[in-house]
A and B are shown apart, each in its own frame.
Chain A
């Protein structure tokens, strides 16, 4: 059910998402769109659902809403953030983003999809388009070793296990390792859309 706060306010506050969209990097694909309040509801559904990716347990609705808004906020602070992924039939089943949370060693590639949309290659396709649009030389992903689907996706996107980075992190802050995640490194040089 859509909560009242997930419906745009009528009047002059109604078009901030258009403002955001106008500022997002030019993307040569119609598959990635600026996130909107509708997307916020979808992300909250995914994050609070049984396949919510948070290793520490499911989010409450409010935690999910705050987390997604914060994720959008990185566009304004850092110039990168989440896109809504649009499938060929016009559906919006999930998100792909470059995030940089406090404690992250480097910008991280993240994907978040509704359970029914997993396994259809959307993340792979979006990941390719996404990688080609950013001026970054590389991205990392921290993946739960038990998450076979994400590991497989990382491999398809030609990421490599960042053993050296992982050991460096382990010796330093070690967040990714302490949390039990493996670090995958995406080398984006020469990565075509």
Chain B
């Protein structure tokens, strides 16, 4: 296996953000089967987890940026994903995040996204990123605001109205 060299490992007080790995597939599949994925496409087939992990790794290799798996440093347990997501029908690369079941309410997403965003705006020198957020995804909206992002405009994505939140630049 080739070293996962294009994906940097980031450390925060409680978390380690690392390259996606096949061992994340089970947790990712469970997330997609749960109502928690409703606002980001929802109910992907369980066998989509491995291709999704492959896609993330390929994105890092081709583009130099992509998604990290967020893990608890103490146990190594994967608790979600964050980083930059690119799709052909996206207007720009997106700062994305999702937490798996059972890890909300502890500030973990804030901690992880802040680290990812700082890396993208700092080390990778990316322009201020945006995030798509479904208008009914109140928790994600609250996190975006807590991260200092502001509602830039609304647009339509796959037939649904969706908010575009713009993040402040810099490495705060």
Contacts and interface: CB of A to CB of B under 8 A. Distances in A.
Contacts of A62: 87-89
B124 A9 contact: yes
A12 interface: yes
B24 to A, nearest CB: 11
Contacts of B51: 66-67, 70, 101-102
Nearest to A3: B88
A68 B65 CA distance: 16
B53 A73 contact: yes
A16 B63 contact: yes
A122 B62 CA distance: 24
Interface of A is mostly: helix
A78 interface: yes
A72 B58 contact: yes
Nearest to B55: A70
B30 to A, nearest CB: 17
Interface residues of B, number: 37
Given A16-B61, A17-B61, A37-B63, A76 B88 contact: no
Interface of B is mostly: loop
Contacts, number: 123
B162 to A, nearest CB: 16
Interface in B19-46: 19, 21-22
A36 B1 contact: no
B88 A17 contact: no
B123 A5 contact: no
A12 B124 contact: yes
Interface of A: 3-5, 8-17, 19-20, 23-24, 35-37, 40, 44, 60-62, 64-79, 101-103
Given A20-B2, A73-B57, A76-B1, 8 more contacts: A5-B93, A12-B124, A14-B64, A16-B61, A20-B61, A71-B54, A102-B47, A102-B50
Interface of B: 1-6, 19, 21-22, 47, 50-65, 86-90, 92-93, 123-126
